[in-house]
Amino acid sequence: ASADGCRCIWLSCARGIMGVAVSMVELLVWTAWTGLGLAAGAGGMLFASAGLACIATEGPMLAAQAHANVERLAEAFIKEVAETEKTWIKVTSAIILAPFALVLWMLSFLCLLLYRGNFSTKLCMQLLSGSACVHLVALFCMPHMWWITMKFCFPAAPAIGWAAATFHEDQPSIEVEVPSQGADADGNNEKVGAQTEARAGVEVGEELSS
């Protein structure tokens, strides 16, 4: 009887420990998911307001440059991950950390886009004011739909950068030959010298004829 009682106690303790462990894992998953959702919403708001205003003011080339800079920053990390030996521990870690790496990529793109943007122009200020009014109206009229839209705008930011970079790469490069200032100066000097010699020859001819 005492052995059965001890066994029941150990089983109840094990169940309690397993319950606590499962609750901790659920808490961590919920915290991570909530953090990713908040980051996506905040990033979507930045892109839908300031990011689009910068792109509309300075053109899609700004997004292409930000995308190229993010690729340059992540090149070493991607190369290291691709060249390391594939084990089940590393693959599992990569799968778990992939969402956070994608969020970091998107946030880096937004930071570089906003860093290169010029907010002092009149057009950019007008676009920012209009975007703020639209966001306020959508926030009060349909907050749930507005928040979902902001979350979708967040992954759309690097997609637009990638599309702008791809479009820029497909465009043929046109090179315009601009003559150097030295060549222009030499040509002008030669023309002036020829005119001077011609005038001198005319004057000499008039003196001989007279």
Residue 209: pLDDT band with limits 50, 70, 90: low
pLDDT tens digit sequence for 74-112: 777 777 767 777 777 777 877 777 777 787 888 888 888
pTM: 0.59
> CA-CA-CA-CA torsion for 53, 59, 60, 64, nearest 10 degrees?
-100
Q: In the structure, what pLDDT confidence band is assigned to residue 180 with cuts at 50, 70 and 90?
A: very low
Q: What is the mean pLDDT of residues 62-69?
A: 84
| Dihedral angle of Cα 93, 95, 96, 101, to the nearest 10 degrees | 100
Averaged pLDDT for residues 167-192: 51
Give counts: helices (H), strands (E), the chain: 7, 0
Residue 185 pLDDT = 47
Contact by Cβ (8 Å): 120, 53: no
Return all residues near 59 (Cβ < 8 A) that are at least 6 apart.
none
Rounded Cα distance, 157 and 150, in Å:
11
